[in-house]
């Protein structure tokens, strides 16, 4: 296998971008592990593998891999049903091996069949979800982990709106969190101004890093001057990273799968499920990242699936969660200025160094700072500019975009994309029906022309068109433009021809027959 080397010509952009991705990825790795009811360190392991291992084999220069929130419910249910986390790790290994098989049959082109309106709707839905899910952290009402791809299931997602309102009306807002969020947003917006973008040193000092440092310092001031405004881990207001006292204790966080689990049918079923869902999410994420890439590079999705398969196999072997290419970290990478895979690799190395040497320092970062960073990322994914551009493309493009966006926010990524695809297919079929046949007449002389290939989906529209032809007419059926005509179409024409002689009609055929398989 061709192992790509890391490129360093853009290190001035890639290294700071990797730092930003690390700051975004750290709480996500921990939060997704918590939501999966798995050991917290398993999320960090998955993040490190996504950054260090998958990056080297990836088919994308800008995608970032790690534990995915879209798999959290599957993981949590599987750990309970299988009996233990070590048994579940066998399913992760199986999923990785199956992904390698999927790549071997070159199924990575799946994303090419997804309309751009659905992909943009997915991005917008994820962006809105990011914003909504960070509101509790921004105001100090920390009830859930920082999500990235999935809102609450069912009608519970409405709590995203109602909880912050309740917090304000009942005076439950944590002033310290709110102030830190506002200051962090001000820094990020100022860093994004034209004035700051013209300053070369800002490439080495990203706004996200500045807001994290300033936020931590403000929280230290609160601890001294206004103690009841201080953000602490008592209500999940700050990063909570496991602290290892020694190298031995650190290595003890790793674990291997139960060997006997590979012989269990339910473990294989779980592995197949993870492989399918993780592959689809990875392909969709890579396709979406390509659309955000300033250089408009096209990723090799089959190669990406190979990387994901290798990553999941290794993650399962050493105690990590399942890994996919993830859109939030990838988009953060793009908007932070990343240009090559070096930025993702840097983020993976920083995760490793962080858990080894600086867990107590990182545990001082307020989640309000990270919420502000994700507010900006979320808005860039779902901006008014994007919505206006989709509207200008017409209803046929806007409807799938809108449906996908709403359902990704209200349910989850896979359901939203699936329903968006169904809507797109319905629109395409309706359009295909309308444009496949043209009918014109001059008195009793009628011309029916097939404008494209005719399949069984056109049978109903053909029947309707034939019923428009009045008795005692001369009909010409022209199939010149059709390279293929289904047997169902021929049978429909034959049935009509059999009844035409009783209606005083004559039929003339032009380049019509001999085009079925």
pLDDT for the residue 202:
66
Q: Which two tokens stand for residue 241?
A: 């990273």
The residues, ordered by sequence, that sit 6+ positions from 46 with a Cβ below 8 Å of its Cβ are 29, 33, 66, 67, 315, 320, 321, 322, 323
pTM: 0.68
HEC profile of 336-388: CCCCCCHHHHHHHHHHHHHHHHCHHHHCCCEHHHHHHHHHHHHHHHCCHHHHH
**Which regions of the chain are under pLDDT 50?**
144-154
In the block, residue with structure tokens 């917006």: 189
In the block, residue with structure tokens 């069984």: 456
- Show contacts of 206-211: CB within 8 Å, 24+ apart: 206/16, 206/17, 206/19, 206/20, 206/336, 206/337, 208/19, 208/20, 208/23, 208/24, 208/336, 208/373, 209/16, 209/19, 209/20, 209/23, 211/183, 211/184, 211/185, 211/187, 211/369, 211/372, 211/373
pLDDT for the residue 300:
86
Question: Using an 8 Å Cβ cutoff, are 16 and 204 in contact?
Answer: yes
Pairing of the two strands 445-450 and 437-442: antiparallel
pLDDT for the residue 152:
40
Architecture per CATH, 435-510: 2-Layer Sandwich (3.30)
pLDDT for the residue 246:
76
Integer Cα distance of 392 and 384 in angstroms = 12
The residues, ordered by sequence, that sit 6+ positions from 96 with a Cβ below 8 Å of its Cβ are 275, 308, 309, 310, 311, 312, 313, 314, 315, 316
pLDDT for the residue 5:
64
Q: Which two tokens stand for residue 272?
A: 């197949």
Integer Cα distance of 206 and 336 in angstroms = 7
DSSP for 420-435, please give it.
HHHHHHHHHHHHHHHH
Domain boundaries, the chain: 11-141+173-404, 435-510
């Amino acid at each position: 296998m061709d192992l790509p080397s890391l490129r360093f010509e853009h290190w001035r952009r890639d290294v700071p971008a990797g730092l930003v991705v690390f700051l975004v990825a750290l709480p996500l790795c921990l939060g997704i592990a918590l939501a999966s009811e798995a050991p917290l360190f398993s999320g960090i392991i998955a993040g490190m593998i996504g950054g260090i291992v998958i990056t080297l084999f990836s088919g994308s220069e800008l995608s970032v891999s790690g534990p995915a929130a879209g798999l959290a419910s599957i993981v949590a249910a599987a750990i309970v049903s299988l009996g233990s986390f070590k048994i579940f790790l066998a399913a992760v290994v199986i999923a990785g091996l199956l992904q390698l098989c999927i790549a071997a049959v070159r199924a990575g082109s799946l994303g090419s069949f997804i309309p751009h309106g659905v992909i943009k709707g997915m991005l917008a839905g994820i962006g809105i979800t990011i914003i909504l899910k960070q509101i509790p952290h921004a105001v100090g009402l920390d009830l859930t982990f920082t999500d990235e791809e999935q809102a609450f299931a069912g009608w519970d997602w409405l709590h995203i709106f109602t909880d912050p309102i309740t917090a304000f009306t009942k005076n439950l807002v944590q002033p310290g969190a709110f102030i830190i969020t506002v200051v962090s947003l001000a820094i990020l917006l100022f860093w994004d101004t034209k004035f700051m973008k013209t300053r070369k040193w800002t490439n080495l000092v990203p706004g996200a890093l500045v807001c994290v440092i300033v936020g931590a310092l403000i929280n230290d001031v609160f601890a001294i001057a206004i103690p009841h405004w201080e953000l602490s881990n008592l209500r999940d207001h700050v990063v909570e990273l496991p602290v290892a006292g020694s190298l031995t204790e650190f290595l003890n966080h790793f674990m291997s799968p139960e060997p006997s689990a590979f012989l269990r049918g339910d473990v294989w079923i779980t592995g197949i499920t993870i492989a399918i869902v993780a592959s689809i999410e990875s392909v969709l994420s890579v396709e979406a990242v390509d659309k955000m890439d300033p250089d408009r590079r096209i990723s090799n999705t089959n190669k990406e699936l190979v990387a994901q398969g290798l990553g999941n196999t290794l993650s399962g072997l050493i105690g990590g969660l399942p890994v996919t290419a993830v859109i939030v970290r990838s988009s953060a990478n793009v908007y932070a200025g990343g240009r090559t895979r070096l930025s993702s690799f840097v983020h993976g190395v920083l995760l490793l160094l962080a858990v080894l040497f600086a867990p107590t320092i990182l545990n001082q970062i307020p989640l309000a700072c990270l919420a502000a960073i994700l507010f900006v990322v979320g808005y860039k994914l779902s901006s008014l500019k994007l919505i206006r551009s989709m509207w200008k493309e017409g209803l046929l493009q806007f409807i799938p975009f809108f449906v996908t966006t709403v359902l990704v926010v209200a349910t989850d990524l896979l359901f939203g994309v699936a329903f968006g695809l169904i809507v797109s297919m319905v629109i395409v079929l309706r359009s295909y029906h309308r444009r496949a046949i043209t009918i014109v007449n001059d008195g009793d002389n009628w011309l029916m022309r097939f404008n494209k290939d005719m399949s069984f989906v056109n049978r109903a529209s053909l029947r309707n068109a034939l019923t428009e032809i009045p008795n005692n007419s001369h009909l010409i059926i022209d199939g010149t433009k059709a390279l293929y005509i289904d047997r169902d179409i021929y049978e429909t024409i034959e049935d009509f021809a059999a009844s035409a002689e009783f209606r005083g009609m004559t039929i003339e055929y032009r380049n019509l027959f001999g085009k079925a398989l």
